[in-house]
Amino acid sequence: MPPIPTRAITIAGFVVAVAAMIVLEVLAGRPGSRIPTVGQWLGYLMRPKIGRVLVLAGWWWLGWHYFAR
Amino acid sequence: MATDPAPARRDATARRPWRVARPRRPADFALLSLLGGGLAGYAWVAAAAAPFSRGALVAVLVPGALLGAIAVARPPERIPPPDHLDATGMSYWMICLAAFFEWEASAWRDSSWPWHPSFTNLIDPLLAPHLVKTLAILVWVLAGWALVRR
Protein backbone atom coordinates (compact mmCIF):
# COMPACT_ATOMS: atom_id res chain seq x y z
CA MET A 1 0.00 0.00 0.00
CA PRO A 2 1.54 3.34 -1.00
CA PRO A 3 2.22 5.79 1.84
CA ILE A 4 -0.36 8.52 2.44
CA PRO A 5 1.13 11.83 1.29
CA THR A 6 1.73 14.32 4.10
CA ARG A 7 -0.16 16.96 2.12
CA ALA A 8 -3.33 14.89 2.43
CA ILE A 9 -2.68 14.42 6.15
CA THR A 10 -2.23 18.18 6.60
CA ILE A 11 -5.44 18.94 4.73
CA ALA A 12 -7.29 16.28 6.72
CA GLY A 13 -6.10 17.90 9.94
CA PHE A 14 -7.52 21.26 8.93
CA VAL A 15 -10.77 19.70 7.77
CA VAL A 16 -11.19 17.87 11.09
CA ALA A 17 -10.52 21.02 13.12
CA VAL A 18 -12.92 23.15 11.08
CA ALA A 19 -15.59 20.43 11.05
CA ALA A 20 -15.29 20.09 14.82
CA MET A 21 -15.87 23.83 15.22
CA ILE A 22 -18.94 23.67 12.97
CA VAL A 23 -20.30 20.77 15.04
CA LEU A 24 -19.68 22.73 18.24
CA GLU A 25 -21.57 25.72 16.87
CA VAL A 26 -24.52 23.51 15.95
CA LEU A 27 -24.50 21.84 19.38
CA ALA A 28 -24.27 25.23 21.07
CA GLY A 29 -27.50 26.33 19.41
CA ARG A 30 -29.56 23.69 21.20
CA PRO A 31 -31.75 24.94 24.07
CA GLY A 32 -30.03 24.53 27.43
CA SER A 33 -26.65 23.77 25.88
CA ARG A 34 -23.62 24.37 28.11
CA ILE A 35 -21.48 25.06 25.07
CA PRO A 36 -21.36 28.77 24.22
CA THR A 37 -21.84 29.86 20.62
CA VAL A 38 -19.06 31.73 18.82
CA GLY A 39 -21.03 34.94 19.26
CA GLN A 40 -21.40 34.37 22.98
CA TRP A 41 -17.76 33.74 23.75
CA LEU A 42 -16.64 36.52 21.45
CA GLY A 43 -19.16 38.76 23.19
CA TYR A 44 -17.76 37.68 26.53
CA LEU A 45 -14.23 38.53 25.34
CA MET A 46 -15.48 41.90 24.15
CA ARG A 47 -16.93 42.91 27.52
CA PRO A 48 -13.82 44.94 28.48
CA LYS A 49 -12.80 47.70 26.11
CA ILE A 50 -9.39 46.15 25.44
CA GLY A 51 -11.07 42.88 24.48
CA ARG A 52 -13.30 44.76 22.08
CA VAL A 53 -10.31 46.47 20.48
CA LEU A 54 -8.35 43.23 20.17
CA VAL A 55 -11.22 41.22 18.71
CA LEU A 56 -12.04 43.91 16.15
CA ALA A 57 -8.35 44.23 15.30
CA GLY A 58 -8.19 40.47 14.81
CA TRP A 59 -11.22 40.64 12.53
CA TRP A 60 -9.60 43.36 10.47
CA TRP A 61 -6.29 41.45 10.30
CA LEU A 62 -8.13 38.42 8.89
CA GLY A 63 -9.56 40.58 6.14
CA TRP A 64 -6.18 42.08 5.36
CA HIS A 65 -4.51 38.67 5.37
CA TYR A 66 -6.93 36.99 2.99
CA PHE A 67 -8.12 39.86 0.78
CA ALA A 68 -5.31 42.41 0.60
CA ARG A 69 -2.30 40.11 0.44
CA MET B 1 -18.43 25.50 38.41
CA ALA B 2 -21.75 27.30 38.11
CA THR B 3 -24.45 25.39 36.31
CA ASP B 4 -26.59 27.34 33.92
CA PRO B 5 -30.20 27.88 35.01
CA ALA B 6 -33.00 27.40 32.52
CA PRO B 7 -32.27 29.69 29.59
CA ALA B 8 -34.08 33.00 29.92
CA ARG B 9 -35.84 34.67 27.02
CA ARG B 10 -32.97 37.12 26.76
CA ASP B 11 -30.50 34.24 26.51
CA ALA B 12 -32.50 32.74 23.62
CA THR B 13 -32.28 36.06 21.79
CA ALA B 14 -28.55 36.27 22.41
CA ARG B 15 -28.12 32.85 20.80
CA ARG B 16 -30.01 33.96 17.67
CA PRO B 17 -29.25 37.68 17.27
CA TRP B 18 -30.92 38.00 13.88
CA ARG B 19 -34.26 37.96 15.72
CA VAL B 20 -33.29 41.33 17.14
CA ALA B 21 -32.42 42.77 13.72
CA ARG B 22 -35.61 41.97 11.77
CA PRO B 23 -36.95 45.18 10.08
CA ARG B 24 -40.42 46.12 11.22
CA ARG B 25 -41.44 48.81 8.73
CA PRO B 26 -41.38 48.92 4.92
CA ALA B 27 -38.99 51.89 5.11
CA ASP B 28 -36.61 49.82 7.26
CA PHE B 29 -36.82 47.00 4.74
CA ALA B 30 -36.08 49.40 1.87
CA LEU B 31 -33.10 50.85 3.73
CA LEU B 32 -31.82 47.39 4.52
CA SER B 33 -32.15 46.37 0.86
CA LEU B 34 -30.26 49.48 -0.20
CA LEU B 35 -27.50 48.80 2.31
CA GLY B 36 -27.31 45.18 1.24
CA GLY B 37 -27.04 46.15 -2.41
CA GLY B 38 -24.38 48.71 -1.64
CA LEU B 39 -22.38 46.20 0.37
CA ALA B 40 -22.63 43.61 -2.37
CA GLY B 41 -21.46 46.17 -4.92
CA TYR B 42 -18.58 47.20 -2.69
CA ALA B 43 -17.56 43.57 -2.21
CA TRP B 44 -17.70 43.03 -5.98
CA VAL B 45 -15.39 45.98 -6.62
CA ALA B 46 -13.07 45.09 -3.74
CA ALA B 47 -12.71 41.53 -5.01
CA ALA B 48 -11.43 42.86 -8.32
CA ALA B 49 -8.38 44.45 -6.70
CA ALA B 50 -5.11 42.66 -7.32
CA PRO B 51 -3.37 41.10 -4.31
CA PHE B 52 -0.72 43.27 -2.61
CA SER B 53 -2.03 46.33 -4.48
CA ARG B 54 -2.93 49.67 -3.01
CA GLY B 55 -6.53 49.15 -4.09
CA ALA B 56 -6.75 45.90 -2.17
CA LEU B 57 -5.38 47.55 0.95
CA VAL B 58 -7.80 50.46 0.66
CA ALA B 59 -10.66 48.03 0.06
CA VAL B 60 -9.90 46.42 3.41
CA LEU B 61 -9.08 49.66 5.24
CA VAL B 62 -12.38 51.35 4.40
CA PRO B 63 -14.71 48.82 6.09
CA GLY B 64 -12.30 48.52 9.00
CA ALA B 65 -12.18 52.27 9.52
CA LEU B 66 -15.92 52.63 9.08
CA LEU B 67 -16.82 49.88 11.53
CA GLY B 68 -14.19 51.13 13.96
CA ALA B 69 -15.67 54.62 13.80
CA ILE B 70 -19.18 53.26 14.33
CA ALA B 71 -18.00 51.15 17.28
CA VAL B 72 -16.39 54.19 18.91
CA ALA B 73 -18.58 57.11 17.95
CA ARG B 74 -22.05 55.72 17.48
CA PRO B 75 -22.26 52.11 18.66
CA PRO B 76 -25.50 50.30 17.76
CA GLU B 77 -27.76 48.57 20.25
CA ARG B 78 -25.49 45.84 21.55
CA ILE B 79 -26.44 42.23 22.08
CA PRO B 80 -25.86 41.58 25.78
CA PRO B 81 -22.98 39.18 26.37
CA PRO B 82 -23.31 36.30 28.84
CA ASP B 83 -22.32 37.04 32.43
CA HIS B 84 -20.17 33.92 32.55
CA LEU B 85 -19.14 31.05 30.32
CA ASP B 86 -19.44 27.40 31.25
CA ALA B 87 -15.88 26.13 31.67
CA THR B 88 -16.59 22.68 30.24
CA GLY B 89 -18.38 24.05 27.20
CA MET B 90 -15.65 26.60 26.57
CA SER B 91 -12.94 23.95 26.91
CA TYR B 92 -14.28 22.19 23.79
CA TRP B 93 -13.76 25.39 21.83
CA MET B 94 -10.27 25.85 23.28
CA ILE B 95 -9.28 22.33 22.22
CA CYS B 96 -10.49 22.89 18.64
CA LEU B 97 -8.86 26.31 18.38
CA ALA B 98 -5.59 25.06 19.89
CA ALA B 99 -5.53 22.13 17.46
CA PHE B 100 -6.20 24.42 14.51
CA PHE B 101 -3.53 26.94 15.44
CA GLU B 102 -1.00 24.26 16.27
CA TRP B 103 -1.60 22.70 12.85
CA GLU B 104 -1.17 26.11 11.24
CA ALA B 105 1.93 26.91 13.28
CA SER B 106 3.57 23.63 12.30
CA ALA B 107 2.89 24.37 8.63
CA TRP B 108 4.35 27.85 9.03
CA ARG B 109 7.37 26.42 10.81
CA ASP B 110 7.86 24.06 7.87
CA SER B 111 7.72 27.09 5.52
CA SER B 112 4.41 25.96 4.02
CA TRP B 113 5.96 23.59 1.53
CA PRO B 114 3.53 21.79 -0.81
CA TRP B 115 3.68 18.68 1.33
CA HIS B 116 2.76 20.69 4.44
CA PRO B 117 0.65 23.64 3.31
CA SER B 118 -0.63 26.32 5.66
CA PHE B 119 -4.32 27.16 5.88
CA THR B 120 -3.68 30.29 3.83
CA ASN B 121 -2.03 28.25 1.07
CA LEU B 122 -5.12 26.04 0.95
CA ILE B 123 -7.65 28.87 1.05
CA ASP B 124 -6.02 31.17 -1.52
CA PRO B 125 -6.88 29.02 -4.57
CA LEU B 126 -10.46 28.72 -3.30
CA LEU B 127 -10.72 32.52 -3.12
CA ALA B 128 -9.38 33.01 -6.65
CA PRO B 129 -12.78 33.07 -8.46
CA HIS B 130 -14.22 36.56 -8.42
CA LEU B 131 -17.66 35.53 -7.18
CA VAL B 132 -16.23 33.46 -4.33
CA LYS B 133 -13.96 36.30 -3.26
CA THR B 134 -16.90 38.71 -3.41
CA LEU B 135 -18.98 36.48 -1.15
CA ALA B 136 -16.06 36.03 1.22
CA ILE B 137 -15.56 39.80 1.50
CA LEU B 138 -19.29 40.24 2.07
CA VAL B 139 -19.23 37.63 4.84
CA TRP B 140 -16.18 39.33 6.36
CA VAL B 141 -17.87 42.73 6.45
CA LEU B 142 -21.07 41.26 7.91
CA ALA B 143 -18.98 39.44 10.52
CA GLY B 144 -17.41 42.77 11.43
CA TRP B 145 -20.84 44.31 11.86
CA ALA B 146 -21.89 41.35 14.02
CA LEU B 147 -18.84 41.94 16.21
CA VAL B 148 -19.60 45.65 16.55
CA ARG B 149 -23.06 44.69 17.81
CA ARG B 150 -21.62 42.39 20.48
Q: Do A24 and B93 touch (CB under 8 A)?
A: yes
Q: Is A22 an interface residue toward B (CB < 8 Å)? A: no
First to last CA, chain B: 25
Sorted by sequence, the CB contacts under 8 Å of residue B84 that are 6+ apart come out as A44, B2
Confidence tier at B7 by pLDDT (50, 70, 90)? very low
| Chain B partners within 8 Å of A46 (Cβ) | 81, 147, 150
What pLDDT is recorded for position B15?
Answer: 54
CA distance A43 to A22: 18
Instruction: Provide the ipTM.
Output: 0.88
- Average pLDDT (B70-97) is 91
CA distances from B127 to B19, B21, B109, B122 (A): 31, 29, 24, 9
Evaluate if residue B75 carries a pLDDT over 90: no
Partner residue opposite A67 with nearest CB, options B14, B60, B82: B60
Q: At what angle do helices B26-47 and B54-73 cross, to 10 degrees?
A: 150
Q: What is the pTM of this model?
A: 0.81
Evaluate if residue B19 carries a pLDDT over 60: no
CA angle A51, B56, B100 (to 5 degrees): 45
pLDDT above 70 as % of chain A: 94
